[in-house]
Every structure is written in C-alpha cells, then in structure tokens.
Amino acid sequence: MPIIYDENNKIFHLIAGNSSYIMKNFKNKYLVHLYWGKKLNHSGFSEAFMTSPFGANPDPDDKTYTFDRMLLEYPAYGNSDYRHPAYQIEQEDGSRITNLIFKDYKIYKGKPKLQGLPATYVEDENEAETLEIELIDDLINLRVILLYTAFRDYNVITRSAKFINDGDQKLKILIALSTCVDFDHCKFDLLHLWGSWARERYIERTPLMHGIKTIESSRGESSHQHNPFIALLSKDANEKHGDVYGFSLVYSGNFSANIEVDQFNTTRVTMGINPFEFTWILEKGDTFQTPEVVMVYSAEGLGEMSRTYHRLYRKRLCRGEYRDKRRPILVNTWEAVYFNINEDKLLALAQKAKELGIELFVLDDGWFGKRDDDTSSLGDWYVDRRKLPNGLDGLGKKLNEMGLKFGLWFEPEMISPNSELYKKHPDWCIQVRRRTLSQCRNQYVLDITREEVRKEILRMMKEIIRNAPIEYIKWDMNRPLTEVGSLALTPEKQKEVFHRYVLALYEMMEELTSEFPHILFEGCSGGGGRFDPGILYYMPQIWTSDNTDAIERLKIQWGTSIVYPASTMGAHVSAVPNHQVGRITPLKTRGYVAMSGVFGYEMDLTKLTKEEEEIIKDQIEFYKKIWHIVFEGDLYRLISPFQENAASWMFVTPDKKEAFVVYVNILAFPNPPFLKLKLDGLDPNKIYKIEGTDREFYGDELMNIGINIPPMKDFESFAFILRSKE
Ligand code: DGJ
C-alpha cells in the first residue's frame, strides 16, 4: 500500500517507489511536514516542530509553538509564519487572513484527472494511490483539497490544490501555488534551467543563500528564459551520487518557483502559477484547480532523477498513437527554403528526400494567406494559390504518391495586423483599451480566452486538415504576451487573462488532438520557448531550439535532458555553414547529435554532394537500428559540454542488452593526453560487443576502465552500438 494513515500518531506516510513522504496531522488541525527522502519502514515520529518561547503564536491554549518554526504543508501568511505562503485569499472585507484546519481525508487507488489541465496519469489503478486532504476555513467557508499521488514504481509524488468557495461571499485568490515543501536544513545547491532564444535550458547550479530566490516566467509562456523546473541537490550530489529533489510544473504559462532559506536555516520550496499579474475571482460555489507539480526524489544523483522523469513523462504524461511508435524521419522546409515556397521547388526537395530514405515532408511557415515574409497573414489559414496552385490537397496527393507523409505548420494563437482576420476583428487580440500594442515579429497575440476566437481558428484549421492528407502538425507560437488584457472580460477579471489564456490553449489542443488522433503533433515556440510538461501532454514532441548547430545543440539537448526524455526533443540535421552561428561541422556529427532526439533534416537536400547523399542514406539506416534504444532506453550523461571540451552520453535499453554511445569533440587539443571514456548503466557481468568490430568487453571493464578516445579534430565525433552476447 503506497499510502498509509496511522490513526494513533496521526501520520500520513506516502511511499513512492523507493522514497517516503511523511506528514503529520498536528493537533488534528494543522498539516505539518515531517520527511521526504529514502524509503522508511517506520513512521511514528512526531517531533513536528521546535518549541519557541518567543515567536508569534496562534493558539491561546498552547503557547509552545509558532508556525514560523514549523515545517508546513500548505502554509498561509498572517498567522505566525513569516515565510512566503502557498496561497492567499482576499475577502470582501479586505482581509487576507485565512486559517485552514484539517477536516477529513480520503485514500484511493489510481489518480484523478485535473479539470481542464494536463497531468500525469495511470493506465491501471494499481499504478498509484491518491490522498485527498480536505482543509476548511469555517469562518468564510473556504474548502481546499490537497491532492497527493504516490506512484508505485517511480520515486514520484505529484501534488496540486483545489479551492472551493462554499460560502456566500465572493473570494479573490491572490496566490494559489501547487506545492510547498519545507526542508529542515539548507545544505543544498539549487539547479535550474535558464536561457534565451537559440540557447535554451542552460544549466545553472548555485549554493542556496538566506533570503528568497525566484525562478519565474511572466511572459505568458513557460519561456526560453526559465524552464518550469528546479532541483535541490545535496552539496556532494553529481550525476551518479547524492540526494536530489526535483520539482517540475505541468504548466505552459507564467510560473514561479520560490526557494526561501529562513532565519532557522530551513528551506521552503513553493511552485505554481506566478502570483504576479494573477488573481482569480471565486464566486459562491466556484472551484479553482491549480496545475500539478511532479516531485522526484533521487538518492543516486541527478542522472537517476532525470531517468525517473524520462520514464514517467514518456509513458504517463505523453499520450496518443505516437507515444510508443517510431516517429517518421522528416525533412522540414524552414531552413531549406524559408518563405520561398513554390510547388516545383517543394516537389524537388521531396523527391530527393524520398530517395534518401526520409518518410515525412513538413511544409513550414509561408504556405497561407499572402505570407511572403513575416509581416503578414497570421490568422488567414487558407492556402496561397500563387505558390501552391493545386492546393494543399494537390501537393499532399503528390507527396503521398511519392511515398511520403505530409506535415504542415500552423501558428494558431497569432494574428498579423496585416491580415484579413485583423481587418474583420481588430478586437480579437490580447489588448488593453487605448494603449498602443507592442508588436513582436510583426504580430499580435489572439485573445483565445474568447470562445468565438477559439472556434474560428479551430474551424479554419479543421477545414485544412480535413481537405488534405495531413499526418503531422507543427504548432508554433512566436512571441511572448504584452499589454495583457481581454476586451471580453470585466475589469475585475483582467488579472485572470494569463491563466485563462493557458486554459484556452489546452482546450484547443485537447479538441484538435482528440479529433485527429492519427496526426503526429509537434509543439514549438520560436524553438524551445514552451518546452514544458503541459505541452507534452498534448504533443509527444517539441522543437527543442531554433539553433540547429550541432555544437550549440550539445548544451541545449544536455540541459533539456535534465527533465525531458530524448523522445520529446525535435532535433534536425541542418546545412553548413550553420544558419544561426556560421559554424562548419561534419555531417556525421550533425547526425549523431540529431539522432539523440527525434530525428529529422532541415536543409536543401537538392544541393547535397553525392558523398553527402551517401552519408545521409547511411545515417537513416543507422537511425532505424538505434531509435528504440534512444526512445525506450535510459540516458546516462557521461561528459558534460558545460564542463569539458567534449560531450558524451549513452542510452541503454531496460534489459541492458543494447546501448548507443555518442562522443563529440569540441575543439581539437594538439598532442592530447591519454583520454578514456568510461561508460555507465551497463550490466557489469555481461560481455558487450561493439557492433561492426570484433572488440568485446565486460560491462564492468567498460564502466571502470573505459575505452580509449583517439585524437580528434574540431567537432569530430564517434558513436557505436553495444550489444550483449546473451
Ligand atoms: C519558429 C520556429 O521555431 C521555426 O522552426 C520556424 O517554424 C519558424 N518559426 C517559422 O516562422
């Protein structure tokens, strides 16, 4: 049983995989945190706080405690805890004081869905148990349900909270975070993933300090700048060793993660919707559900934390027909032709793609309205017959006759000021009355919080999809939100727009993906500006970055792999000199880096030399041999491009019989020292053969002695498959 309630000691013990999470129902009133870490067999422990003679105290009958010295599960501000709170509710009289008291609990098998929000799931109710804790503030009849799910086979606890207004007054939610975890010390480093366009998810690790550190987005999307993820690492933690606590928010909009170290050296982590620019009106009878936080504990370092997220997100967050299937190897037209589209050019590219073994042809931006550059036509989702006289159906038919699948790009959330749609409906974009709207990439953001806007966009998209043989869609989003407001909402609801936008996005994605289950969807936001678990619930892959340079991708994909599995990371081989950085790298290296994600090409294939064509044919054949190791296997990060002049990683199948190893040199080092590559994750007692050679090694030799790394030139690489002999 993963969740136990010990009635005598009033202790909840959640067992998730090899981890325990323990809380106490203190005085049958307050939910106090006791422990999160390695699995414990016993849990009657009740020292829930340090006595405090001086602190403010909310209890006239017992002056021994103050909330300020306790580890709390879902704290309020204003009744003796001075750290930042998990929630805050404004009442009609202006008060923001609440006092949530334990009322009841429920433990059941399985995991419920979250209304209107993406979340991890189970396929069989025995995979997890859920605990619902009901808290009540009976002065205002506010009910809060804290939802905890413990997964049986993973060290994973998920958390969220639901607010229910059972009273007569209108409540205003000012803060509604999804989780709060208090640790009784601060001997941690904080790791998070920061970045920018074309350099997403760089790793930053810093010691915790007293005060509050916030990682957040206020851009309306999870953002290039900060991913909705943080981890606390014990000081000695590295890839293989040490305690790591991961927090990953299943949400695609403004988020905030606060890490506070207080006067007593406790560490408080809260995470959820960013309270900045947020309020939510809760009328009588209304409910508000927060998004889910997925919390992972690893006793074996960062590597094991990542593998836990990978296994869970691959199988219990991603959904749909393509969750477990090999994705077709694609060619995308963006870096091949940009906006210079015409049918002949596309068919020539497609013909070459087919000859090389490519399976899916993706027509990117530029096929609709009058879109010859990025200054027009978003919102006019009908085909541009100047470029495609036979329409999308005509093009799609020819592609299918060649034996290629057909994929298409959309940017459904946007509107160009220079578009038919904007002429008809200038009120349909996100805006604030009488203010000039900021343009970004010459476009505005549609107000999808309005039902009529969602309906019209989906109507146009569905018409296209139904009338052409489309089997793949790239859903792009190329700017953050500004001047955020909706003409359709009353003044008091204007601060709901950011969250309503995300809910509307999810509604649209749910409708489209469930109506067209055979279509493979890929998320995108100017590359990886919305690479988050929320999107992965609807779309099993996301374009990782607009930066396609293989050397730049080492850091981007390495950082992304901290949370997200390779099966979710779109990765393409592109032309040299690279369009973003001008670097010239070997085609082989570009291939190995791209096939460590969801493999494809994005270059003008009609301009290849014969030698390059042969290399690409070999790459495609090789990829078909290794994709299952990358998609189903466990990732072991070996040499970090953030620390070394090289990068190396490997994937190992769960039965440890096959592995795929990649090593990429960055800059050449003349007359190099003796270098060894030590592998990981293998069975020490199995004999492995490097495919295509007669070299054989025991797993423990490969992991402890390693193999020699030859002297290598700039950006050179090698990769190999290992197969065990039995
Ligand atoms: C940004 C995307 O990341 C690119 O791959 C491409 O689709 C462009 N948008 C098209 O405008």
Atom of ligand 1 nearest to the CA of 441: 11
Least confident range from 59-63, 360-364, 670-674: namely 59-63
pLDDT digits (tens, 9 = 90+) for 486-512: 999 999 999 999 999 999 999 999 999
Centre of ligand 1 from the C-alpha of residue 216, in Å: 24
pLDDT of residue 81: 95
pLDDT of residue 575: 98
Reported confidence tier of residue 48, pLDDT bands at 50, 70, 90: low
Active site residue 365: no
Q: How far is 725 from 689, CA to CA, in rounded Å?
A: 7
Minimal-distance CA residue to ligand 1 atom 9: 526
pLDDT digits (tens, 9 = 90+) for 649-681: 999 999 999 999 999 999 999 999 889 999 999
Q: How far is 281 from 117, CA to CA, in rounded Å?
A: 18
**Is the entire prediction scored with pTM above 0.85?**
yes
pLDDT digits (tens, 9 = 90+) for 165-197: 999 999 999 999 999 999 999 999 999 999 999
Centre of ligand 1 from the C-alpha of residue 37, in Å: 42
Centre of ligand 1 from the C-alpha of residue 470, in Å: 19
Q: How far is 224 from 560, CA to CA, in rounded Å?
A: 11
CB of 364 within 6 A of ligand 1: the answer is: yes
pLDDT digits (tens, 9 = 90+) for 679-717: 999 999 999 999 999 999 999 999 999 999 999 999 999
What CA dihedral angle connects 171, 291, 217 and 437, to 10 degrees? Answer: -60
pLDDT of residue 55: 82
Q: Which residue has the tokens 């025995």?
A: 126
pLDDT digits (tens, 9 = 90+) for 262-321: 999 999 999 999 999 999 999 999 999 999 999 999 999 999 999 999 999 999 999 999
556, HSE (Cβ side, Cα atoms, 13 Å): 30
CB of 526 within 6 A of ligand 1: the answer is: yes
Q: How far is 442 from 308, CA to CA, in rounded Å?
A: 41
Tokens of 319: 């959904």
Whether pLDDT at 63 is above 90: no
DSSP labels, 118-138 = -----SSGGGEEEEEEEEEET
Catalytic residue of the set 189, 384, 546, 634: 546
What CA dihedral angle connects 458, 459, 461 and 466, to 10 degrees? Answer: 130
CB of 409 within 6 A of ligand 1: the answer is: yes
Q: What is the mean pLDDT of residues 525-546?
A: 98
Cα–Cα nearest to 636, from 540, 566, 723:
566
What is the bridge-based pairing of β-strands 128-137 and 3-6? Answer: unpaired
Q: Please give the single-letter amino acid code of residue 205.
A: R
Residue pair 246/153 in contact by the 8 Å Cβ criterion: no
Reported confidence tier of residue 455, pLDDT bands at 50, 70, 90: very high
Q: How far is 27 from 234, CA to CA, in rounded Å?
A: 32
Catalytic residue of the set 137, 189, 262, 476: 476
Q: What is the mean pLDDT of residues 525-548?
A: 98
Q: What is the mean pLDDT of residues 548-575?
A: 98
Minimal-distance CA residue to ligand 1 atom 10: 365
Q: Ligand 1, from 365, 376, 416: best to mutate by most atoms within 8 Å of Cβ?
A: 365
Q: How far is 81 from 66, CA to CA, in rounded Å?
A: 7
Atom of ligand 1 nearest to the CA of 332: 5
Whether pLDDT at 250 is above 80: yes
CB of 365 within 6 A of ligand 1: the answer is: yes
Whether pLDDT at 638 is above 80: yes
Dihedral (CA of 68, 69, 70, 72) sign: positive
pLDDT of residue 46: 67
- Name 151's bridge partners: 128
Centre of ligand 1 from the C-alpha of residue 333, in Å: 10
Average pLDDT across the chain, whole number: 97
Active site residue 546: yes
Centre of ligand 1 from the C-alpha of residue 365, in Å: 7
Whether pLDDT at 54 is above 80: no
Q: Please give the single-letter amino acid code of residue 39.
A: K
What is the bridge-based pairing of β-strands 292-298 and 156-165? Answer: antiparallel
